[in-house]
Chains A and B, each alone.
Chain A
Amino acid sequence: MKIENTWCPGCGNFGVLESMKRVIKELGQKNVVLVSDIGCNSKIVDYLDVSSLNSLHGRPIPTASGVKMANPKLKVIVFTGDGGSLNEGISHLIHAAKKNTDITVIMHNNRLFALTTGQYTAASPKGFKSKSTPYGSIEEPLNPLGLMKASKASFIGRTYSSKIDYTKDMIIEAVNHKGFSFVEILQPCPSFFDTFKFYNERVYEAPRNEKLINEWDYINESKIPLGVFYKEERPTYEDEI
């Protein structure tokens, strides 16, 4: 069914959508289930012809855990944002990583709430000016990859929405990983926080190295490594229950 796309022109999400189309082509349509949050990122389930469950804000991770528990044959992919998983639903993100639930969490990080017209999130830089922080945010941003490492995620990666095939490959690697996989997608928001130029100048494809999780702390203006920084094999939650 053809559904009208409602993202803003030039949105970073178009890149993710293109990557996902290629992912589904490779994985096949049948056993893929997408579980999404609320936010611009989560609209992606309407633009892909696969099974999906559009959950509530902050709650796609426990919903996806339930899907996987019910039918472990399904490949379960979560779409969430920094608002959904670092603000509203951060406890679920931490616990799913700790449990090593066998799902893939794709967190679109545009570093703000876009669909509610641009308020700051836990990923926004300090000093970020928005309607709810007109004089600048007074909080420092979280490093979601560092959070995931501390939470025992068994697969941690970062990619950039403009790198279509690179993102596709990383998502496939994450889905094929047995255990909890976390993929952060840096995603510019041309309407409220246009970071295309910022990322284009700084991102580079890096080899696997756990230390790179801390190279860019979301505050400094250093180079920004992309890649799968951490991967380990350990029994999944579904194996053990």
Chain B
Amino acid sequence: MEKDYSILVGGEAGQGSRKAGLIIAKIFNQMGYSVFIHEDYQSLIKGGHNFSQIRASQKECLTHRKTSDFILALDNKTVEKHKSFLNKGGVIISGEKSCEIVKELGGSRIMGNIAMIAIFSRMIGVDWKILLSVLKKEISRDIDKNIEIAKKAYNETEELFKIEKLKDAVNPLLIGNVAIALGAIDAGLDIYSAYPMTPATSILHYLAEKRKTITTQAENEISAIQSIIGSAYAGKRSMTGTSGGGFALMTEAISFAAIAEIPILVVNSQRAGPASGVPTYSAQADLLFTINSGHGDMTRFVASPGDANEAYGLSGTLLNLAWKYQTPAILLADKELSESTYEFYPKKIKKETELLWKKKRDYKRYEIVKNGISPLAYPGQAIVKSTSYEHNEFGYTVEDEQSIVAMQDKRLRKFKEMEKELDKIEAIKVYGNKKSDKAIVCWGSTKGAVKETAETLGLKVIQILFLQPFPVNQMKKALKGVNKLISVECNATGQLAVLLSQHGIKVDKQILKYDMRPFTPEDLELKLKKL
């Protein structure tokens, strides 16, 4: 039988359930399993109810399951809330035994999670050596006391079965936001400036710690995006990241970057809205807002990744494209992608050099050229005049009809080139039963649940990576042979279906989820069977 385990670890905020989840995932990872962690936490610091759902499977897994084989309950609420989702034959490990051991050995309350991990590891027959090596890597404080506790808990637990080690060579695990940061770094990111906002904040934290870029926290989102526009004007690859509310504040500057033709990469990691909404929960409700962000006649690249490998690839690709076309680019992520843990094995991204001025004749920042892409120079090399006003080739303000039309036409020609670019890159992916005449269309992190369910039910999956410009040709190709199209999204108004209808593609049925929790394969299977 296929090996596929689901484990839920829950407790109050401050009890270390998230850390416990990560350690368990790393134990499975060490034994060669494909791993995914879904995080569910509230907008508070202590108390409440937080939990991690870990999935470990022989097959690639990009989503968690609704039900669990093991529940590790650091508090009673975890048992109460989740026991009805325990699989037949499943085990609940409650906190009494771990508390006892921690007390006996004089450890602090938070060490209960380590005791529990050790109990769980022994139950499923994980070698002590594997557990010890993971603990040593993951625990930063009081390592000796933690290991003493783990050892006692391990030795005093009975083995239920012996889990099989699958392979030695393993891929690293990371969250979507770290993948976003790494993709941008490999595409030459120099500067990151942001204002904290869940669920984008961990990009800021990661980059601030790694010191591979200049990383700053700005006084607000407007300052962050204006600052990266300034940095990009001066020749440095720059990025910012935020969520819906902060992104709303940034939209005037996106319009500025469009007319001034300044390359920037903005990460909008969606959370549940409108307004403050449900801040630590996931949604896909900013699609139409993002592809329409910024006033005036303009366009932008907008792409949405479905897992950490795509997050890395698209982040790097968008940064390269922003510089190739001197345009704003937006990576549209969501909380589920940003904060879930994935196995990481991406195709390496490289920095692609932008079109540079050849230093012949006087420099014209906005030289009227056939494809609309004027060569770049940076202040210090030439007189470089950039502006939020409509302008002539040199970058001086204009108000006369002829100059306005000439410059807008130049930008329109560039937008055409941006559309053509989409034929050169993978903008759409197809999975599942490619011969099926029934297809599910999806975008963003929903891919995980959709792909798995479609494989079970024998359906075709069309995942849209680029939302703007819209990959019409690739979509037409993907739709060949399909006579029933079902859209699956985490929003209440069916925004992808609206976008598709703008391109003449009719969705037959919509499956929408807006309790701000991502789809699980169980949910989706049920809904698809009902259609």
Contacts and interface: CB of A to CB of B under 8 A. Distances in A.
A49 B383 contact: yes
B236 interface: yes
Given A54-B389, A66-B230, A74-B379, A43 B397 contact: yes
Q: Which of B190, B235, B378, B379 has the most CB of A within 10 A?
A: B379
B380 A63 contact: no
Contact of A56 (B220, B226, B396): B226
11 contacts: A51-B382, A51-B385, A53-B260, A53-B387, A63-B233, A65-B227, A66-B226, A67-B230, A69-B230, A70-B230, A70-B236
Q: Which of A31, A45, A70 has the most CB of B within 10 A?
A: A70
Looking at chain A's contact residues, the main secondary structure is mixed
Q: Which of B214, B227, B231 has the most CB of A within 10 A?
A: B227
A71 interface: yes
Nearest to A1: B394
A198 to B, nearest CB: 31
B285 interface: no
Contacts of B223: 59, 62, 65, 91-92, 95
A66 B386 contact: no
Interface string B325-356: 00000000000000000000000000000000
Nearest to B230: A66
A52 B226 contact: no
B314 to A, nearest CB: 24
Given A54-B389, A56-B388, A71-B235, A66 B383 contact: no
Nearest to B255: A56
Interface in A28-42: 29-31, 33, 35, 38
Contacts of B139: none
A144 B260 CA distance: 31
A76 B253 CA distance: 20
Contact of B397 (A54, A59, A74): A54
Contact of A52 (B190, B231, B385): B385
B379 A51 contact: yes
Given A63-B227, A92-B223, A69 B385 contact: no
A92 B219 contact: yes
B379 A67 contact: yes
Q: Which of B191, B226, B228, B397 has the most CB of A within 10 A?
A: B226
A59 to B, nearest CB: 5
Contacts of B226: 55-56, 59, 62-63, 66, 92
A154 B236 CA distance: 27
B231 A69 contact: yes
B234 interface: yes
B227 A62 contact: yes
Given A49-B383, A51-B384, A70-B190, A64 B230 contact: yes
A33 B337 CA distance: 40
Interface of B: 190-191, 193, 214, 216, 218-220, 222-224, 226-236, 238, 252-253, 256, 260, 378-380, 382-389, 394-397
Given A67-B231, A69-B191, A74-B380, 6 more contacts: A33-B234, A51-B379, A51-B383, A53-B387, A69-B236, A70-B238
A45 B322 CA distance: 26
A45 B385 contact: yes
Nearest to B222: A59
Given A43-B397, A66-B227, A69-B191, A50 B256 contact: no
Interface of A: 1, 3, 29-31, 33, 35, 38, 43, 45-46, 49-56, 59, 62-71, 73-74, 91-92, 95, 241
A91 B384 contact: no
Given A1-B394, A30-B380, A55-B256, A66 B387 contact: no
B230 A53 contact: yes
B380 A59 contact: no
A95 B190 contact: no
Contacts of A51: 379-380, 382-385
* For the complex of A and B, 7 pairs with smallest distance between CB atoms: A66-B230, A70-B234, A66-B227, A54-B387, A51-B379, A62-B223, A62-B226
B396 A3 contact: yes
Given A74-B379, A92-B223, A66 B384 contact: no
A71 B228 contact: no
Nearest to A91: B219
A120 to B, nearest CB: 23
Contacts of B395: 52
A226 B442 CA distance: 64
Contacts of A69: 191, 214, 216, 227, 230-231, 236
Given A53-B386, A54-B387, A73-B380, A63 B229 contact: yes
Nearest to B365: A51
Nearest to B218: A62
A153 to B, nearest CB: 15
A65 B233 CA distance: 12
Nearest to B392: A1
A163 B144 CA distance: 73
A31 B231 CA distance: 15
A140 B435 CA distance: 73
Given A56-B388, A71-B379, A241-B216, A63 B230 contact: yes
A66 B193 contact: yes
Contact of B231 (A66, A92, A95): A66
Contacts of A3: 396-397
Nearest to B379: A51
Nearest to B223: A62
Nearest to A29: B383
Contact of B380 (A35, A55, A71): A71
A88 to B, nearest CB: 10
A172 to B, nearest CB: 19
B161 to A, nearest CB: 53
B230 A65 contact: yes
Contacts of A35: 230
Contacts of A33: 234, 379
A43 B397 CA distance: 9
A56 B395 CA distance: 15
B10 to A, nearest CB: 40
Given A56-B252, A64-B230, A91 B388 contact: no
A73 B379 CA distance: 10
Contacts of A71: 234-236, 378-380
A53 B387 CA distance: 5
Given A46-B396, A59-B226, A91-B219, A70 B383 contact: no
Nearest to B395: A52
A67 B231 CA distance: 5
A95 B389 contact: no
B223 to A, nearest CB: 4
Nearest to B377: A51
Given A1-B394, A46-B396, A54-B389, A67 B233 contact: yes
Contacts of B235: 70-71
